[in-house]
């Protein structure tokens, strides 16, 4: 799965972690590993311009998703071998998200993970215009985020355990350097 990320926001964030959240959500949703996604982080004024131009709403927002509408129409159903599919673009505004994170009582990166998953779901056709749609999308979003956090926490615990094990093995002379000799 190809996920391109560009940070033009002026806010330093862990871009790799945002890519991981997007990849996790796409995997959870069963999206083909050949899919391509673009994530762009922008400044407030750029997001305000996009928000007004595409949604006809004033001021900046936290996330916008731009799906590739021609994804299926350009491909014949009987075409041999499906090539990579461009899902679309997710645009995030960290400066806007920072205030939301503070109000929600969590860090900016957690907010950006939430917005990334939200954007992925929009690209896949989910919406929250109607109450039933909102329940479905937000339930799915919360489940994916909880699973992502659990997987991330487990990977961190495993890495810490490996590091501790390596130190112990090194102290007793059983590390990899001594095994090669």
Tokens standing for residue 139: 């339930």
The separation between the first and the last C-alpha atoms of the chain, rounded to the nearest angstrom, is 40
- Helix (H) or strand (E) run with residue 146 in it: helix 131-171
The HSE-up count of residue 105 (CA atoms within 13 Å, CB side) is 0
122 labeled part of a ligand binding site: yes
Instruction: Please give the domain boundaries of the chain with CATH numbers for all domains.
Output: 2-172 (3.40.390.30)
Q: Is the entire prediction scored with pTM above 0.95?
A: no
Cα–chain center distance at 80: 31
Mean pLDDT score of the chain: 87
pLDDT at 84: 59
Rounded to an integer, the average pLDDT of 53-73 is: 83
Buried b / exposed e across 40-76, counting CB within 10 Å, b at 16+? bbbbbebbbebbeeeeeeeebbbbbbbbbeeeeeeee
Percentage of the chain beyond pLDDT 70 is: 87
Q: Enter the tokens of residue 130.
A: 């109607």
Please check the confidence at residue 71 and state whether its pLDDT lies above 70: no
* 65-90 mean pLDDT: 62
Q: Give the helix/strand (H/E) hosting 65.
A: strand 63-67
Ramachandran region of residue 28, left (φ > 0), alpha (ψ -120 to 50) or beta? alpha
Rounded distance between C-alpha atoms, residue 53 and residue 68, angstroms: 17
Find out whether 93 and 61 touch, Cβ atoms under 8 Å.
yes
Q: What are the tens digits of pLDDT across the range 143-162?
A: 999 999 999 989 888 887 88
What is the CB neighbour count within 10 angstroms for residue 134? 13
Beta carbons of 47 and 9 less than 8 angstroms apart: no
- Do 97 and 115 contact (CB within 8 A), yes or no? yes
CA 73 to each of CA 70, 76, 77: distance values in angstroms, whole numbers, following the listed order = 5, 7, 9
Q: For residue 79, what pLDDT is reported?
A: 37
What is the DSSP secondary structure assignment for residue 1, as one 8-state letter? Answer: -
Is 118 annotated as belonging to a binding site?
Answer: yes
**What digits encode the pLDDT tens for the residues 83-132?**
557 899 999 999 999 999 999 999 999 999 999 999 999 999 999 999 99
113 assigned binding-site residue: no
């Amino acid at each position: 799965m190809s996920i391109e990320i560009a940070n033009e926001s002026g806010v330093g964030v862990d871009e790799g972690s945002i890519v991981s959240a997007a990849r996790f959500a796409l995997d959870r949703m069963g999206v083909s590993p050949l899919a391509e996604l673009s994530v762009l982080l922008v400044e407030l004024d750029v997001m305000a311009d996009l928000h007004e131009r595409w949604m006809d709403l004033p001021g900046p927002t936290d996330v916008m998703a731009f799906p590739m509408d021609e994804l299926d129409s350009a491909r014949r159903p009987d075409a041999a071998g499906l090539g990579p599919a461009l899902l679309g673009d997710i645009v995030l505004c960290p400066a806007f998200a920072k205030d939301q994170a503070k109000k929600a009582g969590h860090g900016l990166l957690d907010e950006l993970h939430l917005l990334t998953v939200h954007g992925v779901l929009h690209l896949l056709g989910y919406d929250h215009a109607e109450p039933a749609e909102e329940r479905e999308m937000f339930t799915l979003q919360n489940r994916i985020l909880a699973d992502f956090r659990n997987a991330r926490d487990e990977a961190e615990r495993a890495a810490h355990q490996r590091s501790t094990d390596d130190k112990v093995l090194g102290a007793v002379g059983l590390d990899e350097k001594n095994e090669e000799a």
